[in-house]
Chain A
Amino acid sequence: MVSNLKQIVEYRELLRTLVFRDIRARYKGSALGFAWNFAIPLLQLMVFWFLFGVILGVKATGNYPFAVFLFTGLLPWNFVANSIGVGVISIRNNANMVKKIFFPLQILPLATVMAEFIALLLGMIVLMAVILVFKVGVSWHILMLPMSFLELVVFIAGFVYLFACANVFFRDVGHILGIVVMAWMYVTPVIFPIKTVASKARWASMIVHLNPMTAIVDSFHSLLLDHHSPDWFWFGYSAVAAVIMFVIGFAVFNHYKYQFEEEI
């Protein structure tokens, strides 16, 4: 485990190069190019604002429009969905490299997650602008945001490691995960505030709370919009889950990585 982590540090130049390759490959050849990183979240926000604010007239839960709430949750969720979507197939997508060159394979899934993380950070810039425009206000709680990022990245990296490995041996893992991620979003407070599930059905509320992504995504809401600390119990629960997920995913990946070359 430690030596496999050390290898990542040793090959950090490769990691950096691959992260930039992924980021640049994404919009290479398109007219807007890099600007898409900002344009996509903005367009999303406009759609939400139109749908929920103008057409449906959904009431805000705090002192900000529902569209802002949605946008705040969707940024981390887009990171989750895209990291899984691209990361899980990262070994197969780089079959040529895996077969022909020796380098620590654990770099590949991590590079895609990092690239998505940079996209998330760019989205955060848009979000900050939105927060200013809608006069949501900023408090010192924003300083705790790096903790949310850390939990998010560690959990998703572990998840991607586990299923990137599985996808080498079983091709349909990638397809199944597409559906799983969609269902997963509905048990995460992305399109609904966590308060609204509180009491109705106990088992449903249980599922939502036990989902490690819940506390992470909700912390974005509380830190950025509601200006209070996250629920420490559940936030700690997610932290533990993230570490466990990473340890398992990383260990499984490294255990099977020597077989990748023959399987793909």
Chain B
Amino acid sequence: MEDVAISVADVVKQYKVRHQKGRTLKEAFLRQRIFSETFDALNHVSFEVPFGTTLGFIGSNGSGKSTVLKLIAGTSKPSSGRVRVMGRVSALLELGAGFHPDFTGRENVYLDGVIMGRPRSEIDRRFDDIVAFAEMEEFIDAPAKTYSSGMFMRLAFSVAVSVDPDILLVDEVLSVGDESFQRKCLSRIDEFKSQGKTIIFVSHAMGTVRNLCDRVIWIDRGVISADGDPNEVIDQYLTSVNERDRQRLEAEAGAASGELPGPVEIASVKLLDRAGEEKLSFNTGDYLKVQVDYRSHAPVEAPVARMLLKTADGILCAGASTEMLDEVVDRLPAEGTVELEIEQLPLLPGSYNIAVFFQNQDGSQVYNSDGGKYPFDVAAGMPYETGIIHVPCRWLNWSGNGK
């Protein structure tokens, strides 16, 4: 038991369902009964976190991640079950929670630190470090209401990590920081890890979760869906997201019955490794096969299949079409499979997606209405390379030793 930092045992968190918060007296007396309706934000959730673990929480919006963190932070009490936390907690649940807009950054650093239960003398000692880490020297005496959201986050993060907590809770706040500060935060969190501190990390950035966490819990509608190895849990989560996406697209296609679906329908898109196993996360240089099963409802003359590979931000990395086969199909069969093989995936770590289209020869007409986006991740890349694409290259000259 001694090595358990956080233990959450069979926790249920119920919220009252109502349309507007804070009643007036009249409403309370007249409509008391309506408020007995409840909603389980967490439904019998149990897990234990040993000291020194970095645990990630993933799940869709409203699934209960922040609720778990609030229970751990102590701002909220479970409706039933038990939450035990050993050690000093520092929580970054939302930007500058203790910040007062009329006060300067300096005053707010003290306020924030004291609210987290640290004596002023400790904040005095660390003040310069806090400001330096946030790179806010210039603005520290300006009122907080003049800060941008990134500046808020910088200061709040600096305070939270500098008060030397045993357990650090981070709920999505990093995403408002710029690239350079995010990296700085992540490296500070890495430092925390190496000091054996416990970190709970909530994020929608799967790449970050994958890199940072030793263990990931996927919460789905208040229930733990998966708990374990980051890569496996994230893959399961992404698979379910894809599945929901597909169902949504189908439902939309069904709903928009006035609009004819294209003559070609994509039945499934699978990303396979060399062993033929379906995966959603690959490494740079891996073998990747895209397998598309389609159905054709109406005759389609001389079709071309095209696949586009884009980053999650929509940058087109590569595209290929069956025209390179030099083999014209006169008519698409009623059902079939088209496969694209990439011997060595040249993408560096990040989130990507694949789109699939059936078109006519000159690309003026698209036959399928559900080309969609099939996301996948590239996890581990090549050391010392940055960017999107892995370019095979070699250094020839370094510090004058070359020829």
Contacts and interface: CB of A to CB of B under 8 A. Distances in A.
Interface stretch (A94-102, A134-142, A235-243): A94-102
B22 A261 contact: no
Interface stretch (B107-115, B294-302, B361-369): B107-115
A228 interface: no
B75 A171 contact: no
Interface string B296-331: 000000000000000000000000000000000000
A115 to B, nearest CB: 14
B94 A100 contact: yes
A206 to B, nearest CB: 29
Interface in B338-388: none
A182 B24 CA distance: 21
Contacts of B21: 263-264
Interface in A163-195: 168-173
B15 interface: yes
Given A171-B22, A172-B25, A264-B22, A102 B75 contact: yes
Interface stretch (A11-19, A116-124, A153-161): A11-19
B244 interface: no
Interface string A83-101: 0000000001000111111
B98 interface: yes
Contacts of A102: 73-75, 89, 91
Contacts of B100: 21, 25
Interface string B57-71: 000000000000010
A28 B97 contact: no
Interface centre among B15, B24, B89, B117 (most CB of A within 10 A): B117
Nearest to A29: B102
Contacts of B119: 13
A50 interface: no
A14 B77 CA distance: 22
Interface centre among B21, B97, B116 (most CB of A within 10 A): B97
A96 B94 CA distance: 9
A261 B66 CA distance: 13
Contacts of A21: 100, 103, 107, 111
Given A100-B93, A103-B115, A169 B23 contact: yes
A14 B113 CA distance: 9
A258 interface: yes
A207 B92 CA distance: 52
A203 B22 CA distance: 38
B97 A96 contact: yes
A25 B120 CA distance: 20
B74 to A, nearest CB: 4
B16 interface: yes
B26 to A, nearest CB: 8
Interface string A1-32: 00000000001011001000100110011000
B76 interface: yes
Given A17-B110, A21-B111, A29-B102, A172 B89 contact: no
Contacts of A97: 97-98, 115
B28 A103 contact: no
Contacts of B102: 25, 28-29
Given A21-B103, A99-B75, A101-B73, A170 B25 contact: yes
B75 A17 contact: no
B163 to A, nearest CB: 12
Nearest to B120: A13
Contacts of A262: 15-16, 76
Nearest to B92: A100
Contacts of A100: 73, 75, 91, 93-94, 97-98
A173 B103 CA distance: 29
Nearest to A103: B115
Contacts of B93: 99-101
Given A101-B75, A103-B117, A262-B15, A171 B97 contact: no
6 contacts: A17-B115, A97-B115, A98-B75, A99-B75, A169-B28, A170-B24
Given A169-B22, A171-B23, 19 more contacts: A17-B114, A17-B115, A21-B107, A21-B111, A25-B103, A29-B102, A96-B94, A98-B75, A100-B93, A100-B97, A100-B98, A101-B75, A101-B97, A101-B98, A102-B74, A102-B75, A172-B24, A258-B76, A262-B76
Q: What 8 A-B pairs are tightest by C-beta distance, nearest first?
A: A100-B97, A102-B74, A258-B77, A171-B22, A100-B93, A17-B114, A172-B24, A14-B114
